[in-house]
Chains A and B, each alone.
Chain A
């Protein structure tokens, strides 16, 4: 093939490859290539070369676009080198949540352990030296009583009485002979039922009709068909402040028998300067709470409420003045009959033994279940 022919041939190939040939011409060209191996080879080479040429061009274009894109991206400031944090920071970030959880679990464990072990109760206990004199009839005694009852039942063959044993005990005394009795609020606190037992061993059901937690007072009403109203109480109530050194005594139930205690008024204020109470020097024990404090003339000057732990002879009695004020607050609607507070003193001039004999019928053992 000479040069002119080759040039012409390439021209035809270009037209052929560009799809510019039509019908007969195209068929003729294809026939020519099939018959002529040299032409066919030239066609293949040319086609391949053009392919490479085009690929090259595309690649150039692509690189251009890529470079432009890279430049735009890097110019956008998105290429800041990532900070490589120190190991300790990485670890902290990784285990932050875990350590916080662990810390809160530890705190929880510490405080719940302290709480469970009674640490806070101990603090509360040591922070106050005041001790309310409610008698706790403990489990041992309860068990012993139950056992004794069983033994008695075996011996006697009698059916076992269903009277359960009181959990707490205190003292109460008649304020109005038609069935009203006062005691301390802490004695009847949380009571399911309250029973009053007199010195003869008779027991009456009673109802708490008024409580005054601030002054630690409660008003009960005997609510029992077997109760026969008493004559009016032999003692009167003295609201005027009593003098230091006054000879005073109390009657209460620190055990199941009535117990007499004697002493003197030692301070006009109660625990921590409480002006609604006296400090008296009478040996009192749990169970004395709610008992009346009387002077030598048979006037009730207060009501035993507690004592200071760790100090000998420091007992406290709520003043009669506070008692009467509190009683006056009782809503009249809640009373079935009027409170009749005795105005006539039948104890003046009597010997102490006589006084006590008369008073003891009006002092009850308060049993709380």
Chain B
């Protein structure tokens, strides 16, 4: 594809950065700016307010998944992007429930978002697998893994937190937990 000129306004770029870093203010801004539009679209097409909330939330996660991608570039206004994603998501949901969709003609511009949705689905799958694996792992393994790898606590701190008598015990425990988690995760993937 040829080089595209960036047509993304400053404010949209700022919002995207906020979404990538999980900034609560930016997320609330998204709701304020775009949720009424989505609510309208869903409600006018056989949906309820609750369903609109779900669709919008998922759309924001789609946005998040894609913003995290290194080569992501918005090719339209953020408004159009969000509307397109939500429309696609809602169509899919309606299709699975055999309900009619009568989108108001030319309600908003629509762009193709299939790739972005595919990426999101893949991430979602991995997320679900990891979630299951972590669930199956159970406590205290889960917390130990989280503390060590995500919160970056030292073994000494973990030792104290869980009351292990010495850090070697803790290290062994951590290793066992990790091996189990890997096993659970990879066996589910295969």
Interface residues of A (CB under 8 A from B): 7, 10-11, 18, 45, 49-50, 52-59, 61-63, 65-70, 72-74, 78-79, 81-82, 84
Contact = CB atoms under 8 A, between A and B. Distances in A.
Given A10-B175, A70-B57, A73-B32, 17 more contacts: A7-B172, A11-B175, A18-B152, A45-B182, A52-B126, A52-B185, A56-B126, A58-B22, A59-B64, A63-B61, A66-B27, A67-B57, A69-B24, A69-B31, A74-B53, A78-B32, A82-B43
Among B22, B32, B53, B60, max chain A CB count under 10 A is at B22
Interface stretch (B7-15, B83-91, B94-102, B143-151): B143-151
Given A54-B150, A65-B24, A78-B32, A70 B171 contact: no
Nearest to B44: A84
B53 A70 contact: yes
Nearest to A69: B27
A319 B24 CA distance: 98
Contact of B127 (A18, A45, A54, A56): A56
A59 B66 CA distance: 12
B110 to A, nearest CB: 20
Contacts of A73: 28, 31-32, 35
B131 interface: yes
A50 to B, nearest CB: 6
**At the interface, is chain B mostly helix, strand, loop or mixed?**
helix
24 contacts: A7-B171, A7-B172, A10-B178, A49-B185, A50-B149, A52-B130, A53-B145, A53-B149, A54-B149, A57-B146, A57-B150, A59-B61, A63-B61, A65-B22, A66-B27, A68-B24, A69-B24, A69-B30, A70-B27, A74-B53, A78-B36, A79-B35, A81-B43, A84-B44
Interface size grouping (class) on chain B? 35 or more
Given A57-B150, A74-B53, A82 B31 contact: no
